[in-house]
Copies of this chain bind each other. A is one copy, B any other.
């Protein structure tokens, strides 16, 4: 099993590297430079390229070849980068993947416009692979763009609301993160001309994987190692973000703990030297374990979703990927 896992990881890294190279070159030398240099800057910033890999793997899962969805795989990464550029403006984020964010490197106008054009470049690349089911594939892609915008809007809304329910939070992360991952699986399967049943299975895989992925992100923020995670541990608490961990703690806490948590909401965050105090509250309320259980729940749901896939080899690859993602430490 270990050998097989190594092989899956090697294959993933190999494909991710190829995608990375293609993205880096995609808009180089395009004119006007004032638009395409900033676009290239973000496309050259690396990343896991998980979304692209899911497109390719989903095409293979239904009997297709990577070549049938290679441009679509680029397309979802381009779309993902658009969301990062615009979200970073809205969040006033200064760093992304260890480099200046686009609006810091250039300016806000340039970042808005680069993001806008990345949307169109994403559609352009997707269209290159559309030879069958075009309207359906485009609708799937497009709906996910709408959901991403809705998710980001809810995220901003929650920042200023004090009464966010856990179900509302899950709906938000579904839209903001999961909908795109679900779409990757869906269009991969559609481009490979998969059956309705297989498309649905892969969509459910992506949906649940996306939820597990985001909850793991929430968890890593508090238990991650700073050198692995690349962000400051406890950053969500400092920024007063209403993550799953925070909302669950707020639900379970009483007395002093409750008051301390409510202070985070009221003050829109905490000081860095208070992180440990809050981590201890989380531990006391068992919130870390509860979150881990949620992550496992959604990972298992993802794996169960693809049970009926005929291609055993790709099915095992998907199972490996789900486990790999929840066991990551960055």
A residues whose Cβ falls under 8 Å from a Cβ of B: 31-32, 34-35, 86, 89-90, 108-110, 112-113, 115-117, 119-121, 123-124, 127, 130-131, 134-135, 138-139, 142-143, 145-146, 149-150, 152-154, 156-157
Report yes or no: B134 in contact with A113, Cβ–Cβ below 8 A. no
Contacts of A112 in B (CB 8 A): 86, 89-90, 112, 115
Complex-state Cα separation, A150 to B145, whole angstroms = 22
Name the prevailing secondary structure of the A interface residues: helix
Q: How many copies does the complex hold?
A: 2
Rounded to whole Å, the gap between the CB of A76 and the closest CB of chain B is 14
Report yes or no: B32 in contact with A113, Cβ–Cβ below 8 A. no
Q: List 24 A-B contacts (CB under 8 A).
A: A32-B150, A32-B154, A35-B149, A89-B112, A90-B109, A90-B112, A90-B113, A108-B108, A110-B156, A112-B115, A113-B149, A113-B156, A116-B149, A117-B146, A117-B153, A120-B146, A121-B146, A123-B138, A124-B143, A124-B146, A127-B135, A127-B138, A127-B142, A134-B134
Complex-state Cα separation, A150 to B115, whole angstroms = 12
Report yes or no: B134 in contact with A120, Cβ–Cβ below 8 A. no
Complex-state Cα separation, A156 to B107, whole angstroms = 12
Contacts of A120 in B (CB 8 A): 142, 145-146, 149
Rounded to whole Å, the gap between the CB of A42 and the closest CB of chain B is 14
Contacts of A35 in B (CB 8 A): 149-150, 153
Residue from B89, B117, B138 within 8 A of A134 (CB atoms): B138
Report yes or no: B146 in contact with A32, Cβ–Cβ below 8 A. no
Report yes or no: B34 in contact with A156, Cβ–Cβ below 8 A. yes
A34 in contact with B119 given A86-B112, A139-B124 (CB within 8 Å) = no
Rounded to whole Å, the gap between the CB of A32 and the closest CB of chain B is 5
Contacts of A34 in B (CB 8 A): 153-154, 156-157
Report yes or no: B119 in contact with A145, Cβ–Cβ below 8 A. yes
Rounded to whole Å, the gap between the CB of A1 and the closest CB of chain B is 42
Closest to A39 in B: B149
Closest to A85 in B: B112
Complex-state Cα separation, A203 to B84, whole angstroms = 35
A32 in contact with B138 given A116-B149, A120-B146 (CB within 8 Å) = no
Complex-state Cα separation, A142 to B54, whole angstroms = 25
Closest to A86 in B: B112
Report yes or no: A152 in contact with B113, Cβ–Cβ below 8 A. yes
Complex-state Cα separation, A108 to B92, whole angstroms = 11
**A-B CB proximity, top 3 nearest:** A35-B153, A117-B149, A120-B145
